Amino acid sequence: MLFSDVVQASETVRATRSRKTKIATLAALLSEAAPDELGPVVAWVSGELRQGRIGTGWRTLTALECEPSELATLTVSSVDSTLSELATTSGPGSTNRRKELLRGLWTAATAEQQAFLMRLLGGELRQGALTAIVAEAVAVAAAVPIELVRRAYMLSGQLPVTAVAALTGGAEALGEFRLEVGRPIQPMLASPGAALDEAMAEFGDEVSVEHKLDGARIQVHREGSRVWVFTRTLRDITAGVPELVDLVAQLNCVSVVLDGETLALTDSGRPRPFQETMSRFAEVSTTRELLLHPYFFDCLHLNGADLLDAPLHERRTALTEVAAAHSIPALIRPDAEAAAEYFDGALAAGHEGVMVKSLLAPYAAGRRGRSWQKIKPTHTLDLLVLGAEWGYGRRTGYLSNLHLGARDPETGDPVMVGKTFKGLTDALLQWQTAEFPRHERARDEYTVYLWPELVVEIALDGVQVSSRYPGGVALRFARVVRYRPDKSAADADTIETVRALLP
């Protein structure tokens, strides 16, 4: 398959708001790909690289000055091969070899292909082909139910792997995916809840109310004496968290998969700020003295038995059996008064609020339905930073006023919903001014415009109808809570979630 076929399909997807057209376009592309081409093609249209990080940033890419080719001769296999070599080239002479590889790729690419590669390698391929859309395209191309694709993707953790199975082996191959200890699965996510009493009423008597911790999501696996620890984005951080590894290795079991949060605590036992916990997840951490404490809330596998399809009340029983001392506090089937007191207690202990969960629901990746709801005392949204204006007065010289956007669930594109400079500390102002140029897509005299990849948590008093912004809504009294380096652009809240806060 020619690389130009992928680029053309990508442009078609970017140019339309029709979900049906996006899926049909991608399904046609996948149907034409050879089995060994499916992996890279699925990764690319999802805006990812099959090789993961290849150590090539915007500065390197923008420094390339190569005239584009007049002929589209690049193939999917040749591009993927070059990317693989880039990912594995290291040691003496590697800098020159990497430049040589990039120049060769850029010289062979047409102008359209260069633009595509620039967005792909820079992590900014904003074409609206979110994984949910690509998954549906896989189902259409393979003529299999979308539920099978979603489940296989959850279990494999990799959509390219799922796509190869679907298009080469059909429903039978997808049905062979199982939870594999040591291989992370896509996590189940919570939806924002309006109020505690509403969430309680929605689930009736079969409800669990848990503390919502201000920590970082982890998924731990153990098989015998071997332990793995993964982040929310399925990154393996085992080597960087020895205290978690040691604790899981001492649990009384043969094999286990646990889902939970981890956070650093003060000497008094209260949670430290989120950024301090996240500092332990950095590529090069200098804060090993901050010990992480795990708080598990789900058990997905125990001693050879998979529990994904079991209702939450059974999974909690297994959790109590294997890790009761390290589980998040929870009330099972409380009445409204007890739940309200528990909510107040969570806030007093320094936590964000509570999670309200259906005890009857199985474990399902992503935000499919509202079986888990997060309840906080104030509204918060995870939004994309679209730009920042230069400050004035005390903030002269700093990038200050943020342009905020929600995600359009149909296209994946950002929709601007407001601005704010409130809540920005001096440290954050300094960080923004140093970090934002690395994500710059354009600028004018007053504003630096960013590719939408940074996620920031925003507290707000509500939402109002407004013609000022494209989404038709505006945030009321928005203020910055923190940045979320543990979240990608695909994790940002949608414009539908923002509109749902309208009175």
Enumerate the active-site residues.
Answer: 212
Residue 198 assigned as binding residue = no
Q: Residue 37 corresponds to which tokens in the numbers above?
A: 């081409």
Q: 152 CB contacts (<8 Å, ≥6 apart)? A: 162, 165, 166, 174, 175, 177
Is 210 known to sit in a ligand binding site?
yes
150 is in an annotated binding site: no
Q: Which amino acid, residue 76?
A: V
Say which residue the tokens 């929600």 belong to: 406
On whether 482 is known to bind a ligand per the annotation, the reply is no
Nearest CA to 484 among 130, 231, 216? 216
Are 76 and 42 in contact by the 8 Å Cβ rule? The answer is no
| Locus of tokens 């149907």 | 31
Q: Compute the distance between CA of residue 32 and CA of residue 75 in angstroms, rounded to an integer.
A: 13
209 CB neighbour count, 10 Å cutoff: 26
419 annotated as belonging to a binding site for a ligand: no
Which of 239, 248, 246 is closest to 280 using CA atoms? 239
CB-based contact 236:229 (threshold 8 Å) = yes
C-alpha distances out from residue 182 to 77, 256, 257, 346, Å: 29, 10, 9, 33
- Closest CA relative to residue 328, chosen from 235, 258, 408: 258
Q: How many CB atoms lie within 10 A of CB 440?
A: 14
Beta bridge partners of 209: 331, 356
Flag whether 274 is marked binding.
Answer: no
Q: Which amino acid is at 366?
A: G
280 belongs to an annotated ligand binding site: no
- Annotated binding residues for ATP, written as ranges, equal 210, 217, 232, 261, 297, 368, 374
